[in-house]
């Protein structure tokens, strides 16, 4: 790849918001206070499945200090049907949801009532005074059970099936007949939590002109529409502001505290605040879906994949939320970054009375990755091939097509990422003790960036220059810690030739910043990055036209660098001089641009044929582990992450995403498990829900490939989600290598290792 001549892009600058965070200055959702705020507490269901017979809030209301207690009857539009997309009307599926529980409880964390009081203590006391009459129902907690005709029905429909998809390529029976070896296994992955360090939180108030304003830790300020619908107020009377968010990972993608706050503000006119307790967060907010995955894979004796049949059953939990989209992502990625002659994929999403599943980093990508990367290694074992060799025989390359028929027209560097990762992993460490077995394993993956194409995704950004030569970006982007804002500053700085510190980014305000869409689906660099790039270029072109006249050269010959505009002959003008010149002539010193992702029709869900995504990020994670075969405990010795990121907008940020993603995924592979017993959460604290601590991880080594072949600005590809997708599979493969046995469930815990070794 040719060396690019960037000044800002591609350089490891600390993010422009880094100092504030390091000095403790950043004000997150809960750090914002108003006088006389009401403090909210939510009463949650005592049962995962029950008829809600009655709620008596009278005693709670009478407690001194309680302002209001709200239940479903107090919500103007308690039941809504969301069509997924950036507005309510764009996109396919209809997801029924309730703001507050009514008629029938569908999962244990379901919100039943809202208390607003003068302080948290009073609100907590009031919760206990609310009398709720339930009739517990049998419920259903296993998605395979829930699919049966006579199963308990979670909702009001006569089926628990939410949706299903198919992918058909070729003739699967023919494929298996061609296969010399076939492996067939069932993989089970549990529900896991985002476990961001900042719990869900927000403050809301009634501003001038009756605008209900909510400042909350959210990935989607455009929920203002959904909130307005629930409140029965016009869309332009709800404003959502996203401050810096203390971690999102998809868990703050759905509405969390916002509706509760808005309802109280609407009812009382007073400001209100709500922060979930950690327990509440672990019990009641969305989770990564649990899946049951049945895979049958056939290969010829030289390792060519001729048939892959996959059945994925997704446990959606009590409400639909984003389950159909997550399932769609899983469906497209079900067979991985491989060329397979005959493919049959059937996926379905099922309601149960477990906690609801929704977006979680990777959005349905990590689950099938665990399955297909395990299958590949099982085949390799039977064929006496190395895991790398069997993959090299089957990796998709640029120009090849997925099983969905979609041709991969952009860069596909999976093979290079696998080779580099393994070189970096090196030869196995020698074990010092006979009961410690060293294992090495890796997993390759594909993960889309950008939302699905039939959403007709768009993003807008404003770039303007001030008279003193400083730059302003206004963009509705929500920053959840991945440098969403800082990237825009870098892009604007690059295009306009200023220092990073010369750019201010105003972000995340649905009233005041051009809407940039959700911070989800690894789309912000791609979408708002491109929109910002477009806008910055418009401003630059305006400045270049005037500067060119003054410097007597074509605008395209000018170089914008060091706060100057320089002509080929070496003469230059300072940026602010040109700006003032433009201002004097009434030339626009700003631009708002919209970037449109490719827009496609809905794919054919019966054959799965069609284009769903703009592009994918391909990569590999490799690990070395030391397994104590007697206790099952695993020491992770090495982690290597290698991804084609297209172009590093900021290498420091990219490395950070890759390192963080690897450990986020390691937790999924090694120790995280939201344990439910008939719908009741058994792990409602961070002492019981096991995250990797600093003492459980090695340093992650990162290797980036910059193919330039992405559709983001400067040829970048997204990395936020892709970076975590193969980690759990890599961990599992490394353990399998160590112990000579495969574990087909996640997490691969010490106990499971011990059981696999037949010691108990």
Partner 1 sequence: MKQYPIKIIVNGKSREISVTADETLLDTLRSKLDVFEVKNGCEQGDCGACTVLIEGIAVNSCLTLAIQADGKEVTTVKGIGTDENPHPLQESFHKYGASQCGFCTPGMITSAKALLDENPNPSLNEIKNGISGNFCRCTGYTKIFDAIESVTNENQS
Partner 2 sequence: MNHKEYFKPNNTQELGQLVKEFGSKVTFIAGGTDLIPQMRDEVKSPEVFIDISEIDELLSIVEEDDVISIGAATKISEVTSSFILITHCPILVSAAEQLGNILTRNRATIGGNIANASPCSDTAPPLLTLNASLVIRDIKGEVKTQSINDFFLSYKKTALQQGELITQILIPKKSEKQCGSFVKIGQRNSAAISVVSMAMMLDMDSGHCRQAKIAMGGMAPIPIRALKTEQLLKNNTINEALIESSAHHLAQEFLPISDIRGSEEYRRHLTAVLFKRSINNSLKQQGE
# chain residues binding partner 1, by CB under 8 A:
58
Q: Pairing relation of β-strands 38-44 and 272-275?
A: parallel
- Nearest 5°: CA angle at 196, between 371 and 113? 105
Q: Candidates 71-79, 326-334, 679-687, 725-733 — which segment interacts with partner 2 by CB under 8 A?
A: 679-687
Write out the two tokens for 232. 């029965």
* 629 touching partner 1, by CB under 8 A: no
Indicate the Cα dihedral angle 217, 221, 223, 228, nearest 10°: 100
**Closer residue to partner 1 in complex, CB, 124/563:** 124
Q: Say if residues 706 and 714 touch (Cβ distance below 8 Å).
A: no
* 635 touching partner 1, by CB under 8 A: no
* 501 touching partner 1, by CB under 8 A: no
The binder of 750, among partner 2, partner 1, none, by C-beta within 5 to 8 A per type, is partner 2
- Binding residue for partner 1, selected from 93, 165, 176, 196, defined by CB under 8 A: 196
* 713 touching partner 1, by CB under 8 A: no
Q: Pairing relation of β-strands 700-705 and 634-644?
A: parallel
Q: Candidates 153-161, 219-227, 702-710, 751-759 — which segment interacts with partner 2 by CB under 8 A?
A: 751-759
**To which H or E segment does residue 652 belong?**
helix 651-670
Nearest to 354 by CA among 401, 412, 313, 300: 313
**Closer residue to partner 2 in complex, CB, 545/633:** 633
- Binding residue for partner 2, selected from 671, 735, 743, 746, defined by CB under 8 A: 671
**Closer residue to partner 1 in complex, CB, 452/701:** 701
The binder of 249, among partner 1, partner 2, none, by C-beta within 5 to 8 A per type, is partner 1
**Closer residue to partner 1 in complex, CB, 27/46:** 27
Write out the two tokens for 495. 């295009």
Q: Pairing relation of β-strands 680-681 and 104-105?
A: unpaired
- Binding residue for partner 2, selected from 690, 698, 708, 745, defined by CB under 8 A: 690
- Binding residue for partner 2, selected from 236, 401, 630, 741, defined by CB under 8 A: 630
Dihedral sign, Cα of residue 117, residue 123, residue 126, residue 131: positive
Write out the two tokens for 680. 């009741």
The binder of 275, among partner 2, partner 1, none, by C-beta within 5 to 8 A per type, is partner 1
The binder of 31, among partner 2, partner 1, none, by C-beta within 5 to 8 A per type, is partner 1
- Pairwise CA distance, residues 243 & 257, whole Å: 14
The binder of 759, among partner 2, partner 1, none, by C-beta within 5 to 8 A per type, is partner 2
**Closer residue to partner 1 in complex, CB, 469/656:** 656
Other C-beta atoms lying within 10 Å of the C-beta of residue 586: 7
Dihedral sign, Cα of residue 484, residue 719, residue 22, residue 479: positive
Q: Candidates 98-106, 213-221, 691-699, 737-745 — which segment interacts with partner 2 by CB under 8 A?
A: 691-699
- Binding residue for partner 2, selected from 378, 688, 715, 717, defined by CB under 8 A: 688
* 246 touching partner 1, by CB under 8 A: yes
Write out the two tokens for 149. 């005709």
The binder of 656, among partner 2, partner 1, none, by C-beta within 5 to 8 A per type, is partner 1
Q: Candidates 235-243, 549-557, 641-649, 680-688 — which segment interacts with partner 2 by CB under 8 A?
A: 680-688
* 109 touching partner 1, by CB under 8 A: no
Q: How far is the CB of 593 from partner 2 (least distance, A)?
A: 48
**To which H or E segment does residue 56 belong?**
strand 50-56
Nearest to 9 by CA among 447, 646, 720, 567: 646
# chain residues binding partner 2, by CB under 8 A:
23
- Pairwise CA distance, residues 101 & 734, whole Å: 45
* 696 touching partner 2, by CB under 8 A: yes
DSSP letter (8 states) at residue 129: H
Strands (E), 222-289: 238-241, 272-275
**Closer residue to partner 2 in complex, CB, 117/313:** 117
- Pairwise CA distance, residues 719 & 704, whole Å: 11
* 35 touching partner 2, by CB under 8 A: no
**What secondary structure, in 3-state letters, does 331-378 show?**
HHCCCCCECCCEEEEEEEEEECCCCCECCCCCCCCHHHHHHHHHHHHH
- Binding residue for partner 2, selected from 244, 264, 272, 754, defined by CB under 8 A: 754
Q: Candidates 355-363, 442-450, 505-513, 744-752 — which segment interacts with partner 2 by CB under 8 A?
A: 744-752
- Binding residue for partner 2, selected from 273, 683, 723, 732, defined by CB under 8 A: 683
In order, the DSSP letters of 469-535 are S-EEEEE----SSS-HHHHHHHHHHHHHT--GGGEEEEE-BTTTS-----S-TT-HHHHHHHHHHHH
* 700 touching partner 1, by CB under 8 A: yes
Q: Which of residues 257-286 bind partner 1 (CB under 8 A)?
A: 275, 277-279
Q: Which of residues 644-663 bind partner 1 (CB under 8 A)?
A: 652-653, 655-656, 659-663
- Pairwise CA distance, residues 429 & 439, whole Å: 9
* 472 touching partner 1, by CB under 8 A: no
* 675 touching partner 2, by CB under 8 A: yes
Q: What is the CA radius of gyration of the chain?
A: 27
Binding site for partner 2 (CB under 8 A): 630-631, 633, 671, 675, 682-683, 687-688, 690-696, 749-751, 754-755, 759-760
């Amino acid at each position: 790849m040719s060396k690019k001549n960037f000044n800002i892009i591609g350089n490891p600058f600390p993010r422009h918001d880094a100092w504030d965070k390091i000095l403790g200055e950043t004000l997150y959702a809960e750090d914002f206070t108003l006088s006389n705020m009401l403090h909210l507490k939510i009463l949650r269901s005592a049962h995962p499945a029950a008829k809600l017979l009655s709620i008596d809030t009278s005693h709670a209301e009478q407690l001194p200090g309680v302002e209001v207690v709200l239940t479903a009857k107090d919500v103007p539009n308690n039941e809504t049907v969301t069509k997924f997309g950036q507005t309510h009307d764009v996109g396919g599926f209809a997801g029924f949801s309730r703001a507050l529980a009514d008629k029938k409880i569908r999962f244990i964390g379901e919100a039943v009532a809202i208390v607003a009081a003068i302080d948290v203590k009073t609100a907590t006391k009031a919760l206990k005074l609310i009398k709720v009459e339930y009739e517990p129902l049998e419920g259903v907690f296993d998605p395979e059970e829930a699919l049966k005709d006579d199963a308990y029905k979670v909702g009001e429909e006569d089926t628990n099936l939410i949706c299903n998809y198919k992918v058909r390529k070729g003739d699967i029976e023919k494929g298996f007949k061609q296969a010399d070896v076939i492996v067939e296994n069932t993989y089970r992955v549990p529900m896991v939590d985002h476990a961001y360090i900042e719990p869900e939180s927000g403050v809301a108030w009634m501003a001038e002109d009756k605008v209900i304003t909510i400042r909350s830790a959210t990935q989607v300020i455009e929920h203002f529409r959904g909130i307005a619908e629930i409140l029965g107020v016009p869309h332009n009377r709800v404003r959502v502001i996203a401050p810096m968010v203390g971690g999102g990972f998809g868990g703050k993608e759905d509405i969390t505290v916002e509706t509760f706050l808005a309802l109280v503000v609407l009812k009382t006119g007073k400001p209100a605040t709500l922060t979930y307790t950690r327990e509440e967060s672990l019990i009641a907010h969305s989770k990564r879906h649990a899946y049951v995955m049945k895979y049958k894979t056939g290969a010829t004796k030289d390792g060519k994949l001729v048939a892959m049949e996959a059945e994925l059953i997704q446990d959606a939990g009590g409400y639909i939320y984003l389950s159909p989209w997550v399932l769609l992502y899983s469906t497209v990625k079900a067979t991985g970054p491989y060329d397979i002659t005959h493919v049959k994929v059937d996926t379905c999403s099922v309601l149960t009375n477990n906690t609801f599943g929704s977006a979680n980093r990777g959005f349905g990508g990590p689950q099938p990755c665990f399955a297909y990367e395990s299958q590949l290694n099982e085949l390799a074992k039977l064929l006496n091939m190395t895991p790398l060799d069997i993959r090299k025989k089957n990796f998709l390359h640029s120009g090849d097509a997925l099983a969905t028929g979609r041709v991969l027209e952009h860069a596909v560097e999976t093979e290079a990422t696998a080779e580099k990762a393994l070189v970096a992993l090196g030869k196995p460490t020698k074990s010092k003790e006979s009961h410690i077995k060293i294992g090495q394993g890796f997993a390759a993956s594909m993960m889309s960036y950008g939302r699905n194409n039939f959403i007709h995704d768009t993003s807008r950004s404003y770039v303007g220059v001030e008279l003193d030569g400083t730059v302003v970006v206004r963009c509705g982007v929500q920053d959840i810690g991945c440098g969403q804002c800082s990237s825009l500053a870098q892009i604007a700085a690059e295009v306009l030739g200023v220092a990073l510190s010369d750019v201010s980014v105003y972000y995340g305000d649905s009233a005041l910043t051009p809407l940039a869409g959700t911070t989800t689906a690894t789309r912000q660099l791609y979408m708002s990055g491109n929109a910002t790039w477009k806008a910055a270029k418009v401003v630059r072109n305006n400045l270049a036209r005037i500067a060119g006249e003054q410097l007597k050269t074509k605008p395209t010959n000018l170089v914008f660098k060091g706060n100057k505009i320089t002509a080929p002959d070496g003469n230059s003008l300072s940026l602010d001089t040109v700006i003032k010149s433009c201002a004097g002539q009434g030339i626009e010193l700003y631009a708002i641009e919209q970037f449109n992702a490719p827009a496609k029709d809905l794919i054919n869900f019966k054959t799965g044929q069609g284009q769903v995504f703009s592009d994918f990020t391909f990569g590999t994670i490799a690990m070395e582990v030391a397994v104590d075969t007697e206790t099952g405990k695993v020491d992770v010795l090495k982690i290597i992450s290698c991804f084609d990121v297209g172009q590093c907008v900021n290498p420091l940020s990219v490395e950070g995403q890759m390192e963080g993603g690897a450990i986020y995924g390691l937790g999924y592979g090694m120790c995280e498990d939201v344990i439910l017993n008939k719908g009741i959460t058994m792990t409602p604290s961070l002492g019981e829900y096991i995250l990797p601590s600093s003492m459980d991880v090695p340093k992650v080594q990162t290797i980036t490939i910059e193919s330039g072949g992405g559709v983001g600005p400067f040829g970048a590809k997204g990395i936020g989600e892709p970076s975590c997708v193969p980690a759990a599979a890599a961990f599992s493969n490394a353990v399998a290598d160590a112990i000579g046995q495969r574990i087909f469930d996640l997490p691969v815990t010490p106990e499971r290792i011990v059981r696999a070794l037949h010691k108990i």
